[in-house]
Each structure stands twice: as structure tokens, then as C-alpha cells.
Chains A and B, each alone.
Chain A
Amino acid sequence: MIANLLVSSVKGSDAQYLAITPSQVTFEGDDVHIITVQNIEGTSAIREVT
């Protein structure tokens, strides 16, 4: 709910926002880029959701 609130509050503006969360995310809509960083055996695995 908080995530959706954040997304809806910046919708329509020219600005881009970066939200960092350690929890499971649920974003609706295609305007959101999701990048995940996972610590796998001491190495950070970075993946962008396509």
C-alpha cells in the first residue's frame, strides 16, 4: 500500500524518484523500473527487471 502510494504521488510529474526497500515489493503499472540487488555468497547480484 505504501509503495503504491509513493508511485501514485509522483505520477504525472517530470521528476524521477528512487525508493529503496528491503521487503517484498508489489508495484502496479509499467512506469516503474525495478532493480534488485541480492547478496549471493558474499557477492552482490544486480538484476534489472525487464
Chain B
Amino acid sequence: MSSKQQRKKIGGEHLQRIIDLCTSIEEKGLDPFLVDVEDILDVVREYFPEWELPEELSLDAETIHRLASVIKLQSDWVKHRSTSLYTDPFLLEEKIRKLTKVELATLFLEVWHPIVEFEQISPHSLTEAIKYWQSLLPIDERWLQIDPQKREAGTVTREELIRQRILAEKTFSEDLEAFWNELKEKVGENEKILYWDFVGANSYDETIQRAYLTSFLITYGYATLEIDRLEEEIFIKPYEEPVSMLGKKQVVSIPVSISNEEWMKWKRGLQN
């Protein structure tokens, strides 16, 4: 490589660095006075006689263009600082630091504008309030004393309350366990039993009670339902051990109608 080419290469790198510096000042908002304009102009001037090719001249023009943008930023900065409203933050900080506590407190007091809550009532609202007040009954009429009626407490036996279903003879879980055992006994070797054959009882009330308990047997994983859609039959299949279905598969609700007509139909079927 000749010395001229070597110089061109170094000059090109120089100009590229100047362009990068000016671009970063513009884009990142850095202090434009980081750029020494005179120095840069000297560099541009120094290499200018070397440029012959269009791309070399284009790089030179690009450098001048970027430098001009930085000079504009410098100009704007000077204009801003020269306005009367501008106060240098460092000067301001220094000024505050030099103030005594009393002077600082006095300054705060001078600029302090306390916020006062202010509520207004309109003449219309006032009229409404007076109307309401006048329509009120006297306080002694409003606060009527209610005489509590004294009642004698009676007595009742535990058995009576159990019969009325206020007291439970066994806990619900005990009831459920007993019901589960009954289901297992009734199913025997067959694995499953027709829903109505298990739930159905001599009275409709009892049938409802059994259907209620059955729903808990299924929900709590003591048993499951098998539906034969072709024959429209529902079977109950007890598990040997309670099975938790939580998180294992999607749980679905199956509505089963236990109307009085359904019960009568089942009862007639039994008799035939």
C-alpha cells in the first residue's frame, strides 16, 4: 500500500470517528460542548486535499453535516442558558445550602398556601333538609320501647328432637358410611345396581332422603354412576375404597329427576 493510500485510509477512519461522536451526541442528548469544533475542522481541513473519489468526498460532506448539527445544539444550549428564567441547578443548590434554618422556614411560610376544605349547601338542599326534618315524628314516638315478651322454656326429649330432625342421631359422615355399606351389600357380586332399585323406598320422603345421600356417595368418591344411554338406565357402582376424583379427570354433574311420578312408576314396576 502506497503512502498516499495509507494516509487516505487513516483520514477516512478519522472522519468516521468524528461522525460517530457527533451522532451519539445528537441521539443520546450528551453535552454538545464535548466536541471541540475547531479541532475537528482542522482535521477535516487537513485531509480534504486527499479526497478524489465521490465516496471520499461524500464522507467529508457527511462529517461537516454532523458537525453543523452539533454546532446547532451548542447554539440552542447557549440561547437557553441566556434566558432570564433559567437558573443553574448547581447555583440554586448552593444558594439553598447557604440559607439558615430560620431563613428557610420563612421562605416556606411565604410560599405556603394551606388548602382549606370548603363545602357548600344549596338553598334547594336546605329546603329539602327542612322538609325532611319537619316530617319526622317526635323522637319519643320514633324510639318506641318494645317490651320483650317473656316466654317459659319448655322441655323436650332428645328422641323427639331426633324425630323432628333438629338433632342428628349420627353424624353425616357416619350416615354416609352406613349407607355405603348398605350399597355394597345390595350390590353383592353384581358390581352394580339400578339407581332406582337402590334409591327407591317405601315412602317418597325416604326415597328423597336416600337420593340425597346417594348424591354425596358419588360426589365423595364412595361410588360412581354408569349410564346406559340406549336403555336409558342408570346404575350405581360402589368402590371398595373411597376414590378421590379431584384433579384426576373432569367431574361432571348428572341431574336425576326424583319426582313423585317417577317414584310411583318405580313402585308400580315393583308390584308387577
Q: Which residues of A contact B (CB under 8 A)?
A: 1, 4, 24-27, 34-36, 38, 43-50
Contacts and interface: CB of A to CB of B under 8 A. Distances in A.
A47 B168 contact: no
B152, B153, B158 — which one has the most chain A CB atoms within 10 A of its CB?
B153
A32 to B, nearest CB: 11
B165 interface: yes
Chain B residues touching A, majority SS: loop
Interface of B: 151-158, 161, 165-173
B167 A46 contact: no
30 contacts: A1-B171, A1-B173, A4-B171, A24-B165, A24-B167, A25-B166, A26-B170, A26-B172, A34-B161, A34-B167, A35-B153, A36-B166, A38-B166, A43-B151, A44-B151, A45-B151, A45-B154, A46-B151, A46-B152, A46-B153, A46-B154, A47-B154, A47-B155, A48-B154, A48-B156, A49-B155, A49-B156, A49-B161, A49-B167, A50-B158
A25 to B, nearest CB: 6
Contacts of A44: 151
Query: Chain A contact residues: over half helix, strand or loop, or mixed?
Result: strand
Contact of A26 (B155, B157, B168): B168
B153 A47 contact: yes
A47 B166 CA distance: 12
A36 B171 contact: no
Contact of B167 (A4, A25, A38, A50): A25
Contacts of A46: 151-154
Most buried by A among B157, B161, B172: B161
Contacts of A36: 156, 161, 166
A49 B157 contact: yes
A48 B167 contact: no
Contacts of B167: 24-27, 34, 49
Given A1-B171, A1-B173, A49-B161, A24 B166 contact: yes
